[in-house]
């Protein structure tokens, strides 16, 4: 491949041309190929279509901007975009080595880096997936194969994917309550395990609603006492493991360091790993579970006797570009506490805590739970919402007003069961029987940290305005 000047900036104006030139130089080594006339598009038609497309794209919310503090959305890092683009132009399929001789290697190296982040053994079995949902599906499928007929237990705080995937797999599934902080109630989980018909317990170190961290460290004893598998759904919170070490950990240390003791782990690089959507991962502590995937294909797996990723995945075709983007990102921004990804995660944690402190001194807003990660939940204060019904109405009005304002701020809402809401805010007694919406912000961009005072003041203004 001809020598190409390597980019030295994360500016997309430099990275994207470098990605294109990299592939153009590689293509040239095989000889020129004239595009087939069948692939041509009429210029006028393309211009008209592009104009319509540009208009449609303008309707997106500004996920890149700190004023967007709603859902867990942000653009991928420019390095990830460049790596993804370069590999996408080749379009490898990480199902088999003959379809992805390079990106399969990159995927295995990236998976080893993720395993190392959690402290899992070096021979861990794992691969990338299209999403956290598919990663959890695979973990629960393996659990079903190892404990046929036995139930999966998860907390009411867990992502709804577990109930859905258990239904897909035909696995008995049981939900147990969450505690006042939004973590799985381990006493309730143990009562289920004592029945003897539980095969797997799901733990969530970083829930998508509250950002609550299940006490994985305390759950390890349940495996010893009851022989259950432990599955850590760290799709959202997994990368915060980087902040759990050192003398002054920024997150609850014990639950994250205990992830290494779980039987399976899911993490989503398309969240805090800075990747485009379409990049989840599943890891199995025991590489022997690979036998469960065994299958044969009459037209793949023929170029190498080495392991093909399609042999350890329920998915078939998978984008090699996802592996390339992740590998390049983890090389440029290593998964470490004090460099690379760590400082980016730390900024989000500090932002959530700083905003929580402002809310605690506010009359307009009231903190729901103390944030453990970068997700903040709050509700209108007593003077503006004296009942659960009023909390629901005002929260929804603030959400809508923020998006409609000429100086917009984008939040999200979270539905809380009436009993849970009243338990944390007894002043609301006397109103509301069903779930009520409260306000929620995900502060996952480091740019959120300096924007916290402005975000707080804007939300206070909106709350005063709608009331």
**445, 329, 344, 443: which is closest to 75 by C-alpha?**
445
302, pLDDT greater than 80:
no
pLDDT for 193-248, tens place per residue?
999 999 999 999 999 999 999 999 999 999 999 999 999 999 999 999 999 988 89
pLDDT, position 9: 92
In this structure, which CATH number among 3.30.460.10, 3.40.50.460, 3.20.20.140, 3.40.640.10 belongs to the domain 86-291+302-332? 3.40.640.10
pLDDT the model gives residue 294: 78
Residue 47 scores a pLDDT above 80:
yes
Instruction: Specify the pLDDT at position 128.
Output: 98
Residue 43, classed as helix, strand or coil, is helix
Q: Which range among 1-15, 249-263, 396-410, 436-450 shows the weakest confidence by mean pLDDT?
A: 1-15
Q: Tell me, what's the pLDDT at 432?
A: 64
DSSP element (H, E) containing 177: none
pLDDT of residue 3: 59
Give the residue with greater pLDDT, 305 vs 65: 65
* Overall average pLDDT of the 147-169 stretch: 96
* pLDDT tens per residue across span 183-194: 999 999 999 999
pLDDT at 305 over 80: no
Fold: same for 86-291+302-332 and 342-466 = no
Separation of alpha carbons 5 and 255, rounded Å:
44
Supply the pLDDT for residue 188: 97
If 0-12 CB within 10 Å is exposed, 13-18 middle and 19+ buried, where does residue 54 land? Answer: exposed
Quick one: pLDDT at residue 246?
87
Confidence class of residue 254 from pLDDT cuts 50, 70 and 90? very high
CATH number of 342-466: 3.90.1150.170
Separation between Cα atoms, residue 269 and residue 238, nearest integer Å: 9
Q: Number of helices and strands (H, E) in the chain? A: 14, 11
Cα 327 to chain centroid, rounded? 17
Q: Spell out the domain ranges in the chain.
A: 86-291+302-332, 342-466
pLDDT at residue 310, as a whole number:
87
Q: What whole-number distance in Å separates Cα of residue 262 and Cα of residue 233?
A: 10
pTM over 0.85: yes
User: Pick the residue with more confidence: 305 or 388?
Assistant: 388
pLDDT at 1 over 60: no
High-pLDDT (> 70) share of the chain, %: 96
> Comparing 30-39, 202-211, 308-317, 387-396, which segment has the lowest mean pLDDT?
308-317
What average pLDDT score do residues 167-191 get?
A: 96
- The mean pLDDT of 353-367, rounded to a whole number, is 97
Kindly tell me if the per-residue pLDDT of 466 is higher than 70: yes
For 221, residues 6+ apart whose C-beta sits below 8 A from its C-beta are: none
Q: Distance of CA 284 to CAs 102, 214, 253, 281, 462, Å?
A: 23, 20, 22, 10, 47
Instruction: Give 14's pLDDT tier (boundaries 50, 70, 90).
Output: very high
Among candidate residues 374, 418, 83, the one with its CA nearest the CA of residue 236: 374
pLDDT > 90? residue 311: no
Helix, strand or coil, per DSSP, at residue 217: helix
> For residues 150 and 398, what is the distance between their CA atoms, to the nearest angstrom?
45
Selection from 118, 107, 186, 111 nearest residue 154 by Cα: 186
Backbone torsions φ then ψ of 437, nearest 5 degrees: -85, 135
275: tokens are 């990747």
d(CA 260, CA 115): 9
The pLDDT-based confidence of 389 (bands split at 50, 70, 90) is very high
Q: Which two tokens stand for residue 86?
A: 């370069």
412 falls in which pLDDT band (50, 70, 90)?
very high
In the block, tokens 């289920």 appear at 192
């Amino acid at each position: 491949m001809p020598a190409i000047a390597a980019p030295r900036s994360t500016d997309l104006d430099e990275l994207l041309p470098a990605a294109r030139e990299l592939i153009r130089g590689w293509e040239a080594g095989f000889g020129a190929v004239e595009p087939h006339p069948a692939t041509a598009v009429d210029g006028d038609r393309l211009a008209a279509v592009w104009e319509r497309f540009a208009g449609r794209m303008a309707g997106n919310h500004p996920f890149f901007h700190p004023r967007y503090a709603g859902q867990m959305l942000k653009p991928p890092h420019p390095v990830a975009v460049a790596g993804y683009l370069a590999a996408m132009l080749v379009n490898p399929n990480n199902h088999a080595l003959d379809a992805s001789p390079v990106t399969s290697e990159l995927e295995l190296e990236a998976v080893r880096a993720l395993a190392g982040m959690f402290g899992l053994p070096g021979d861990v079995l794992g691969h990338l997936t299209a999403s956290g949902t598919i990663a959890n599906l695979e973990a629960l499928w393996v659990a079903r194969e190892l404990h046929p007929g036995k139930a999966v237990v998860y907390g009411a705080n867990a992502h709804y994917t577990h109930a859905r995937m258990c239904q897909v797999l035909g696995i008995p599934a049981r939900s147990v309550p969450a505690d006042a902080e939004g973590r799985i109630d381990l006493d309730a989980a143990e009562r289920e395990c004592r029945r003897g018909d539980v095969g797997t317990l799901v733990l969530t170190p970083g829930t998508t609603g509250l950002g609550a961290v299940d006490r994985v460290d305390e759950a390890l004893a349940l495996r010893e006492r009851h022989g259950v598998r432990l599955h850590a759904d760290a799709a959202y919170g997994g990368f915060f493991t980087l902040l759990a070490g050192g003398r002054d950990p920024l997150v609850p240390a014990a639950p994250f360091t205990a992830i290494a003791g779980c039987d399976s782990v899911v993490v989503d690089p398309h969240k805090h790993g800075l990747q485009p959507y379409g990049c989840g991962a599943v890891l199995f502590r025991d590489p022997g579970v690979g036998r469960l995937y065994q299958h044969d294909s009459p037209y793949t797996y023929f170029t190498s006797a080495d392991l093909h990723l399609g042999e350890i995945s329920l998915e078939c075709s998978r984008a090699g570009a996802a592996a390339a983007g992740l590998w390049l990102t983890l090389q440029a921004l290593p998964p470490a506490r004090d460099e690379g990804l760590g400082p980016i995660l730390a900024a989000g944690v500090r932002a959530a805590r700083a905003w929580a402190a402002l809310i605690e001194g506010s009359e307009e807003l009231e903190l729901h739970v103390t944030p453990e990660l970068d997700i903040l939940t709050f509700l209108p204060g007593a003077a503006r919402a004296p009942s659960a019904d009023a909390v629901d109405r005002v929260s929804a009005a603030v959400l809508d007003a923020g998006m409609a304002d000429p100086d917009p701020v984008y939040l999200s809402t979270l539905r809380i069961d009436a009993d849970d809401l009243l338990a944390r805010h007894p002043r609301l007694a006397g109103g509301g029987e069903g779930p009520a919406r409260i306000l929620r912000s995900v502060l996952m961009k480091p740019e959120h940290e300096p924007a916290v005072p402005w975000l707080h003041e804007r939300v206070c203004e909106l709350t005063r305005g709608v009331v």
